[in-house]
């Protein structure tokens, strides 16, 4: 996946209308180098096409991609090689690394959650807790790590949460208002107790979000719903408790940390000695 507009803005931000003072001072304008993008840590790769596009944006074209998005990578693996103007390589370096490190970090963390619930029917799902302007890329990285995307935007589906319920005057009222306004839109509704669950179940929502429930409560909710609709557990779930939630029978666990708390995967650029 590529966002060329974001790349243009990132490079422009790095230059701020000027030029790279260090490279212009130390490197001749006709210098040519070969550089390797190399993994420093193990992980899952995402964003290599953003690296390629960033290099192309500064005029580089001799690019060889050696690993693809979704690949499990090891420290020392060369992910991509580029040959061309040395100043251009160094201009693109930090922007390219910012993209691929961030996105690979998300893919790597997602893969850890997916591994944690292996052997269950549950799926790991992201949220809208994304970096402004990066949603498409970050949700793409979740998919590269084996996760599943929740809605991409507010217009994809309705998600009735506690504030909507409070504003509408209750669970049933909120649901009815959404169904009347948007008869065919998917509707997910958040509940935080069994009374709300029983109230909303006859309305036939597409999905019910179990907010901040324990694994034991989620298991009871699964029994109450009895496959009438899909269930998603959210809130208070850690990597160490993921399997316990998944084994309750819920269809999804929603994890905001996939996009808002993933550590950057350490990837570097090295110029080859000529």
Give catalytic residues, as residue numbers.
94, 129, 161, 190, 211
> Residue 95: what are its φ and ψ, rounded to 5°?
-60, -45
Residue recorded with tokens 């690949």: 71
- Six-digit token string for 135: 């949603």
Q: What angle, 0 to 180 degrees and rounded to 10, lies between the N-to-C axes of helices 48-57 and 4-15? A: 60
Rounded distance, CA 206 to CA 189, Å?
A: 8
Residue 148: C-alpha distances to residues 114, 143, 145, 219 (Å): 10, 6, 9, 22
> Residue 159: what are its φ and ψ, rounded to 5°?
-130, 105
Rounded distance, CA 228 to CA 226, Å?
A: 6
* Whether 58 contacts 91, CB under 8 Å: yes
Largest CA distance in the chain: 72
DSSP class of residue 133 equals T
* Whether 32 contacts 116, CB under 8 Å: no
Helix (H, G, I), strand (E, B) or coil at 20: coil
């Amino acid at each position: 996946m590529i966002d060329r507009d974001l790349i243009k803005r990132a490079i422009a931000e790095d230059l701020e209308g000027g030029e790279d003072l260090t490279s212009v001072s130390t490197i001749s304008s006709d210098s040519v180098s070969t550089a390797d993008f190399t993994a420093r840590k193990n992980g899952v790769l995402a964003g290599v096409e953003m690296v390629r596009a960033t290099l192309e944006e500064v005029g580089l074209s001799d690019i060889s991609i050696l690993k693809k998005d979704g690949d499990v990578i090891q420290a020392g693996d060369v992910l991509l090689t580029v040959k061309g103007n040395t100043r251009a390589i160094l201009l693109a370096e930090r922007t390219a690394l910012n993209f691929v490190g961030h996105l690979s970090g998300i893919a790597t963390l997602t893969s850890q959650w997916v591994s944690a619930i292996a052997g269950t029917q549950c799926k790991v799902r992201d949220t809208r807790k994304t970096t402004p302007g990066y949603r498409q890329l970050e949700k793409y990285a979740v998919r590269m790590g084996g996760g599943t995307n929740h809605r991409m935007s507010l217009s994809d589906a309705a998600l009735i949460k506690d504030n909507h319920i409070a504003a509408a005057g209750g669970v049933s009222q909120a649901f009815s208002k959404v169904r009347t306004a948007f008869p065919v839109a998917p509707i997910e509704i958040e509940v935080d107790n069994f009374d709300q669950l029983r109230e909303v179940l006859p309305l036939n929502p597409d999905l019910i979000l179990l907010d901040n429930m324990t694994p034991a409560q989620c298991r009871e909710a699964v029994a109450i719903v009895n496959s009438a609709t899909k269930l998603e557990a959210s809130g208070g779930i850690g990597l160490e408790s993921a399997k316990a939630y998944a084994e309750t029978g819920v269809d999804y666990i929603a994890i905001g940390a996939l996009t808002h708390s993933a550590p950057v995967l350490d990837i570097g650029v090295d110029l080859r000695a000529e």
